């Protein structure tokens, strides 16, 4: 514009708005003020707007100063422009009138041309319509003449009559196809309606001749005749008629072998019947398949040389053979669809699916197989099998057995079986039965997969509901424990007596359950890899297989794995309670030494041995059931719990003794201050007090308890409660020594 083209940009010195806010297409004052009001108060906002206005005015003045010369010369350059504009007004008006006149002439000319073109198009359509009518008449006369000559020549020609008839029929079919086209173009004309009966007669005669030739070609296996007939049917767009004719003439009579009587009389049963049905394709359909698939024909069939014939559009296997087979099976073999006997139903279904697979091999291409599977008769045949009812029966059979086993008392089987308890045995039997070859059906894979997950979830819930029966403490010496379980324990192990229901178990049963669950967790990955994975449908992608594997191994098995600590806690609590029942001997120690004038103890108390016996017996009895590492883990946990309870009893007794001792000491000090000449007591003469004897007994017991823990193969350093117990006893003895010295 002027001396400088530099744009002057003014940016507000504000924290709540910017220059771009005013440049928005949808700028609204109310919205702008509301947004800024959230950031700063109104008085600050007004002050910033005033400052921005001042900056804009200064910028405007600066812009005018930059291009001042152009602003001044603007009015000078406009002098005389009004006279120049007036001089141009008159010639522009004349030019406008001339242009309008020319436009009117062009519009009228275009309209006249369009009218003539429309008339010409109408004439052309009438000419074509008339020509089609002439062609209809010509084709009708030609077809009737050919058919008449063919009829007259039937009595004269002997040897080559079939060949001539085939050529004439093919010729008539070509002309008839043209006739059909012309009739379609002249639909609704009186002439067409008048000759409709003649067209129907030609159609009937042509189809009758084609049907006769087709049947003769099938009987004689004449490839040339079949080729001519199929080509003729294709020309007149009657492919479906040829397929239905083959189904009626050839397939239906043969499929009368599909009856209940034939099924009962066949030595191979249903499989033998299906083998007879499959023989129809190579024996009766081979010629048709060769003609329609483009196979090189034998020159001895009547054609000169090796000529590859391919007549597209036919599919006799899918549209003729299969519908008749499916219809005959559904109507005449209704007994095979009954799901009442699941074993028989499964066998018949698998034989039938094998038959379907063998039948699909005759389709010769994936495209034909796809057409077969999309055929209505195929879907109707597959849906006839009551697979949901079959699965429901299997579900009740499998899940019912498992539920029954959980409601009955737990029993432990004898021998070297991989699983011991009846519940886990039944669980694994149910899991394997879901995928057994005599139970599993590929079409129900998703249902059996869901049943597998339900079985695992149900087992997890049952494990979480397990409770231990209240047992009487079993006190046995190490010698008797090493000899094995008692007769009562053996009876309990083998029979499971004493369990009121499936949720109450004994310690022995619980150990066996733990071992079984641990074994099941190791077997499930092999089950997935070797049994489930090969039976998944082929259309499942690798990503979906990985998802299924994750659900089974990482989610369901994790739920089952999380129940093992619960079982361990039940075992630990039960055994530790049995041991803790022997701690009454520790509570009775003060009565043994207080005011009894007994000698100072030199041996540990007998209850220490009884305290460890339940742990030792538990470890010996279950050495062959679970691993040594697991037994050690349980033994450490039980020892930790028993040590904690031993510490609590010891703490209570020694704390009570300490309080009594401190009280007596204060009384002695008071008496001594009142009577300084009093002689010291026997305790003050250096003899061990009753309380010291009690502390010494607890020290011996604690030391023996540690030795007994070590005899179980447990490092006492791993038992934190025992270390706390030792520390407390030593502290109590040291405190007593200090008091005596004082």
Q: What CATH code is carried by the domain that includes residue 647?
A: 1.10.357
Which H or E element spans position 560?
helix 557-561
Residue 547: what pLDDT?
92
Query: Does a structural domain hold residue 663?
Result: yes
Could you say which DSSP state residue 125 is in?
A: H
The rounded percent of the chain whose pLDDT value lies above 90 is 22
Rounded (5°) CA angle 244-181-153: 70
* β partners of residue 468: 505
Which residue from 306, 407, 316, 295 is spatially nearest to 362, judged by alpha carbons?
A: 316
Pair 698, 653: CB distance under 8 Å: yes
Mark the ranges of the chain whose per-residue pLDDT is less than 70: 1-9, 15, 75-76, 78-79, 132, 141, 143-197, 199-202, 204, 294-310, 415, 470-502, 672-687, 735-742
For 670, counting Cβ atoms within 10 Å of its Cβ (0-12 exposed, 13-18 middle, 19+ buried), the class is exposed
Rounded (5°) CA angle 703-708-712: 145
Which residue from 213, 179, 26, 326 is spatially nearest to 336, judged by alpha carbons?
A: 326
Pair 410, 496: CB distance under 8 Å: yes
Gap between the Cα atoms of 601 and 267, Å rounded: 93
Last residue of a domain, one of 62, 78, 94: 78
Three-state DSSP at 678 gives coil
Residue 112's Cβ-side half-sphere holds a number of Cα atoms within 13 Å equal to 6
Query: Does a structural domain hold residue 160?
Result: no
Residue 174: what pLDDT?
67
Three-state DSSP at 505 gives strand
Residue 647: what pLDDT?
86
Gap between the Cα atoms of 620 and 712, Å rounded: 10
The alpha-helical segments, DSSP class H, found in 17-80 are: 29-37, 42-66, 68-77
Query: Does a structural domain hold residue 62?
Result: yes
Output the pTM of the full model. Answer: 0.69
Gap between the Cα atoms of 390 and 219, Å rounded: 45
Neighbours of 186 (CB within 10 A): 20
Last residue of a domain, one of 51, 78, 105: 78
Gap between the Cα atoms of 251 and 200, Å rounded: 28
Last residue of a domain, one of 35, 54, 78: 78
Query: Does a structural domain hold residue 699?
Result: yes
Gap between the Cα atoms of 8 and 60, Å rounded: 9
Residue 156: what pLDDT?
43
Pair 451, 398: CB distance under 8 Å: yes
Query: Does a structural domain hold residue 582?
Result: yes
Residue 485: what pLDDT?
40
Q: Is the dihedral angle over the CA atoms 689, 691, 696, 700 positive or is it negative?
A: positive
Pair 71, 64: CB distance under 8 Å: yes
Query: Does a structural domain hold residue 307?
Result: no
Query: Does a structural domain hold residue 244?
Result: no
Pair 446, 532: CB distance under 8 Å: no
Long-range contacts of 555-561 (CB under 8 A, 24+ apart): 556/453, 556/456, 556/457, 557/456, 557/521, 557/524, 559/456, 559/457, 559/460, 560/456, 560/459, 560/460, 560/463, 560/517, 560/520, 560/521, 561/521
Rounded (5°) CA angle 89-90-91: 100
Which residue from 610, 589, 592 is spatially nearest to 699, judged by alpha carbons?
A: 589
- What domain range is 70 assigned to? 19-78
Task: Dump pLDDT digits (tens) for 481-522.
Answer: 333 343 333 333 333 333 345 678 888 889 999 999 999 999
Pair 143, 202: CB distance under 8 Å: yes
Count of domains forming the chain: 2
Gap between the Cα atoms of 569 and 160, Å rounded: 99
Query: Does a structural domain hold residue 589?
Result: yes
The alpha-helical segments, DSSP class H, found in 675-719 are: 690-711
């Amino acid at each position: 514009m002027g001396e400088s083209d530099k744009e002057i940009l003014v940016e507000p010195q504000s924290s709540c708005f910017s220059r771009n806010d005013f440049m928005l297409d949808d700028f609204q004052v109310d919205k702008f003020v509301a947004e800024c009001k959230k950031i700063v108060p109104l008085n600050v906002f007004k002050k910033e707007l005033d400052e921005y206005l001042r900056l804009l005015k200064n910028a405007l003045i600066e812009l005018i100063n930059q291009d001042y010369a152009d602003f001044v010369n603007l009015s000078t350059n406009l002098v005389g422009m009004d006279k120049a504009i007036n001089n141009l007004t008159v010639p522009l008006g004349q030019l406008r009138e001339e242009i309008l006149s020319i436009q009117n002439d062009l519009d009228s000319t275009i309209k006249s041309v369009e009218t003539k073109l429309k008339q010409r198009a109408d004439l052309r359509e009438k000419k074509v319509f008339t020509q089609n009518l002439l062609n209809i008449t010509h084709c009708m006369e030609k077809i009737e003449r050919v058919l008449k000559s063919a009829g007259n020549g039937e009595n004269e020609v002997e040897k080559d009559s079939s060949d001539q008839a085939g050529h004439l029929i093919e010729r008539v079919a070509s002309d008839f196809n043209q006739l059909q086209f012309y009739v379609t173009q002249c639909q609704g004309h009186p002439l067409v309606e008048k000759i409709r009966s003649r067209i129907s007669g030609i159609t009937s005669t042509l189809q009758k001749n084609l049907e006769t030739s087709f049947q003769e070609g099938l009987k004689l296996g004449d490839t040339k005749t079949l080729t001519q007939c199929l080509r003729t049917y294709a020309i007149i767009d009657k492919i479906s008629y040829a397929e239905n004719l083959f189904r009626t003439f050839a397939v239906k009579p043969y499929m009368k072998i599909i009856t209940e009587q034939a099924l009962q009389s066949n030595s191979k049963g249903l499989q033998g019947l299906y083998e007879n049905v499959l023989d129809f394709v190579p024996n009766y359909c081979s010629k048709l398949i060769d003609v329609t698939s483009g196979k090189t024909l034998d020159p001895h069939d009547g054609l000169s040389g090796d000529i590859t014939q391919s007549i597209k559009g036919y599919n006799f296997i899918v549209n003729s053979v299969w519908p008749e087979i499916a219809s005959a099976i559904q109507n005449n073999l209704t007994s095979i669809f009954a799901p009442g006997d699941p074993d028989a139903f499964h066998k018949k279904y698998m034989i039938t699916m094998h038959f379907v697979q063998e039948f699909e091999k005759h389709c010769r291409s994936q495209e034909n197989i796809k057409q077969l599977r999309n055929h209505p008769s195929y879907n109707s045949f597959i849906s006839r099998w009551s697979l949901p009812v079959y699965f429901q029966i299997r579900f009740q059979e499998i899940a019912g057995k498992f539920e029954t086993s959980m409601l009955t008392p737990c029993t432990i089987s004898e021998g070297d079986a991989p699983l011991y308890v009846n519940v886990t045995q039944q669980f694994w039997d149910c899991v394997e039965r879901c995928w057994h070859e005599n139970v599993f059906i590929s079409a129900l894979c998703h249902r059996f997969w869901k049943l597998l997950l339900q079985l695992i979830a149900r087992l997890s819930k049952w494990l979480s509901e397990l409770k231990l029966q209240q047992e009487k403490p079993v006190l046995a010496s190490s010698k008797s424990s090493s000899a094995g379980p008692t007769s009562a324990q053996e009876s309990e192990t083998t029979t499971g007596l004493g369990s009121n229901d499936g949720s109450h178990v004994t310690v022995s049963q619980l150990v066996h359950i733990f071992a079984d669950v641990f074994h099941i967790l190791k077997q499930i990955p092999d089950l997935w890899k070797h049994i489930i994975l090969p039976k998944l449908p082929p259309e499942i992608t690798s990503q979906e297989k990985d998802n299924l594997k994750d659900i089974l191994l990482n989610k369901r098995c994790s739920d089952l794995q999380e129940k093992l600590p619960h079982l361990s806690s039940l075992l630990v609590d039960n055994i530790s309670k049995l041991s803790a029942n022997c701690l009454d001997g520790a509570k009775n120690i003060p009565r043994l030494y207080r005011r009894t004038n007994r000698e100072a103890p030199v041996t540990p108390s007998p209850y220490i041995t009884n305290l460890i016996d339940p742990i030792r017996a538990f470890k010996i009895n279950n050495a062959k059931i679970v691993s040594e590492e697991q037994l050690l883990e349980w033994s450490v946990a039980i020892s930790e719990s028993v040590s904690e309870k031993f510490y609590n009893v010891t703490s209570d007794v020694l704390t009570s003794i300490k309080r009594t001792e401190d009280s007596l000491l204060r009384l002695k000090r008071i008496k001594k201050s009142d009577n300084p000449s009093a002689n010291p007591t026997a305790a003050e003469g250096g003899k061990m007090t009753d309380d010291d004897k009690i502390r010494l007994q607890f020290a011996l017991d604690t030391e023996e308890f540690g030795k007994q823990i070590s005899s179980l193969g447990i490092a006492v350093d791993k038992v934190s409660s025992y270390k706390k117990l030792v520390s407390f006893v030593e502290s109590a003895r040291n405190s007593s020594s200090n008091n005596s010295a004082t």
